[in-house]
Structures are given as structure tokens and as C-alpha cells.
């Protein structure tokens, strides 16, 4: 039963060992040599475990930073100036993360493939190639050319080989912290969208599950803001309403990361997380949840921590 499912991560194991060690020291003021040896071994194991946890947290924070936008570039179509896109860039390597077309509801993930130096000199010209990932499949290829203050995009659509070209719009805050469209509503997103914590699992969710909280404290108390049954239904409390999604529109899970996309007629939700630890039956993740109100385009991005398993 779900109410008996407890979250035993490595951090709790450390706390348990420390507690046991402290009790033993209080009860036996004159330990034997054998007990001293055991205590030394326990302390060594605890310190090793601490180091592993610290390393895991540092690694996942690095991975999360890799999927957070640092700046945006806006482009206009060369043949059709009304065709406008923005591309987000971020991470330690500064590569492109997503592309979005004006008028479309969602941004599309980009997967870095390679780069090549076209020409050297005072303003080197570099080509970057990315796969367009849509519904888990490669839908096309983007070539991003950067030379001095100029940036260009060439998109080749896979299904027919048709090419579309774009040039940077220098009048739309190039390399700015917000995209050239959709960002006017972002400032009000926090006031328009809010998440409510619920305890335990809604009755709609059963079986193997994914569940996230706002912080470690809530997670330990089984106070969640999002749960799903991995393959189908999902539940989240938005603006005092329990919203139940009947299916996951997209789900990509690898050994170390997870992406989930859900959408109904009111909201679009995207979850991006990275693995921080693992137990026998569950995998712990940390990342972000992004909620978009499809009616007014307001958006809320929230850090989350949780796990999935059976």
C-alpha cells in the first residue's frame, strides 16, 4: 500500500548510522578494542557514503544547469519575415537547447550533433549542427552558423528535404535573457499559476509511480505537487484545482535523465530531471517542472525533487 512506501535514500541511511553510533558511544563509555575497530569501520563507511552523496548532488546540479537557458537569439525568415523563431542557448558549453516558432504552443528540443570551423580570422565562422527531436524522433536538422555579430539558421525538414533559412534579428534584443516572443506574460506567471501540495497519492493514481515535491522536507513527509502512474494518468494541483491528465503525451527516460510532457485543453506541463541516487526499487531525481497556461500563455517554472519506481 502506498501509505507504507517510505523514502529510504542514502542520506537517511547516513543519518541512521550516525544515530546508532552516537547511542552506542553514550551507553558504553569504555569501549573495547574490538568495538573501537568496528566504530572506525562504521565511520569510514559513513564518510565514504557522504562523499558519494555530495558528488551525486554536484553532478546532478551540473546536469540540470545544462538544460537551463542562459540566453536567446531571435531569427526572421529570409523569404518570409513573418516567420519568426527563437533559439535558446545554455549550459556550460553554450549550445542550443530548444527552438520555438511564433504561433506554436511548444518549443522543440534540439540535440547537439557536431560543430565545424568554416573559416578562421578576426571573426571565425563556425557551423553547429543539431537534430530536431519531436515525439522522441529526429524530425529535421538545424545548422546554426555564427560569425562575429551575425547568426544564421538553416533548417532541413526530414520528410521532404525542404530547407528554410533565417537571419538574426538585431532589433529583438539579441543574446537577451528572455525570448523575443512569449516573454511578456512570463512576469505574471507566478501570480497566475500556483501549485498546491497534497499528501499521499490521489485515488486516480495506482501502481508504479513517479512523484515529486517542492523540497526534501516535503518529500520526506509524502507531500507532493505531482504524481503519475508512469505510463498513463498524472495528477497535479494547479490553482486550487486537482488536474488529472489521462495520458502522457511524451516520455523519454534514460539511465540518468527523464523528460515528460503532458497536455490537455488548459495546460501544458514539461518535466526535466536528472538522476541523483538509486535504491533497490526506486530512482531519485531532481530537476524542474514547467507549467504553461494555454489560454493566456503565462508560465511557471519550479524546482522539484522526487523519485519513480514500484
Of 26-35, 137-146, 193-202, 224-233, give the lowest mean pLDDT range: 26-35
Which pLDDT value is given to residue 111?
A: 92
C-alpha cell of 305?
525533487
Helix (H), strand (E) at residue 39: helix 33-65
Instruction: Judge contact between 222 and 197, C-beta under 8 A.
Output: no
Helix (H), strand (E) at residue 60: helix 33-65
Which pLDDT value is given to residue 256?
A: 80
Mean pLDDT estimate for the chain = 77
Give the single-character DSSP code of 169: -
pLDDT digits (tens, 9 = 90+) for 201-239: 766 666 678 889 988 888 888 888 888 886 668 888 888
pLDDT digits (tens, 9 = 90+) for 259-296: 888 888 888 888 888 888 888 788 889 888 988 888 87
Short-list 166, 195, 22, 197, CA closest to 87: 166
Residue carrying the nine cell digits 497566475:
192
Which pLDDT value is given to residue 190?
A: 40
Short-list 29, 18, 19, 64, CA closest to 287: 64
The residue ranking higher by pLDDT, 17 or 206, is 206
What pTM did the predictor assign?
0.46
* Contacts of range 276-282, beta carbons closer than 8 Å, 24 or more positions apart: 276/56, 276/57, 276/59, 276/60, 276/305, 277/9, 277/10, 277/53, 277/56, 279/8, 279/9, 279/309, 281/309, 281/310, 282/7, 282/307, 282/308, 282/309, 282/310
CA 306 – CA 218 distance, rounded (Å): 10
pLDDT at 168 > cutoff 90? yes
Amino acid at each position: 500500500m502506498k501509505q507504507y512506501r517510505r523514502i529510504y535514500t542514502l542520506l537517511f541511511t547516513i543519518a541512521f548510522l550516525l544515530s546508532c553510533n552516537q547511542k552506542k558511544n553514550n551507553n558504553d563509555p569504555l569501549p573495547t578494542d574490538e568495538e573501537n575497530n568496528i566504530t572506525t569501520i562504521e565511520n569510514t563507511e559513513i564518510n565514504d557514503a557522504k562523499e558519494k552523496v555530495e558528488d551525486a548532488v554536484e553532478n546532478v546540479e551540473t546536469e540540470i544547469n545544462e538544460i537551463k537557458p542562459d540566453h536567446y537569439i531571435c531569427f526572421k525568415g529570409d523569404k518570409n519575415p513573418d516567420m519568426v523563431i527563437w533559439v535558446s542557448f545554455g549550459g556550460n558549453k553554450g549550445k542550443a537547447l530548444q527552438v520555438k516558432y511564433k504561433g506554436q504552443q511548444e518549443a522543440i528540443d534540439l540535440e547537439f550533433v557536431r560543430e565545424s570551423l568554416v573559416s578562421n580570422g578576426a571573426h571565425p565562422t563556425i557551423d553547429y549542427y543539431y537534430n530536431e527531436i519531436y515525439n522522441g524522433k529526429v524530425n529535421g536538422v538545424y545548422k546554426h552558423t555564427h560569425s562575429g555579430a551575425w547568426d544564421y539558421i538553416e533548417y532541413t525538414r526530414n520528410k521532404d528535404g525542404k530547407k528554410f533559412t533565417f537571419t538574426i534579428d538585431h532589433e529583438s534584443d539579441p543574446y537577451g535573457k528572455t525570448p523575443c516572443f512569449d516573454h511578456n506574460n512570463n512576469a505574471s506567471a507566478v501570480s497566475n499559476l500556483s501549485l498546491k501540495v497534497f499528501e499521499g497519492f490521489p485515488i486516480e493514481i495506482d501502481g508504479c509511480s513517479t512523484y515529486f515535491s517542492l523540497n526534501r522536507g516535503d518529500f520526506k513527509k509524502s507531500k507532493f505537487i505531482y504524481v503519475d502512474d508512469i505510463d498513463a494518468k498524472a495528477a497535479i494541483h494547479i490553482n486550487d484545482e486537482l488536474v488529472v491528465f489521462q495520458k502522457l503525451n511524451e516520455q523519454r527516460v534514460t539511465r540518468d535523465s527523464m523528460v515528460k510532457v503532458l497536455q490537455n485543453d488548459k495546460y501544458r506541463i514539461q518535466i526535466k530531471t536528472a538522476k541523483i541516487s538509486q535504491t533497490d526499487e526506486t530512482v531519485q531525481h531532481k530537476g524542474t517542472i514547467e507549467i504553461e497556461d494555454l489560454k493566456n500563455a503565462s508560465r511557471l517554472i519550479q524546482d522539484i525533487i522526487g523519485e519513480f519506481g514500484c
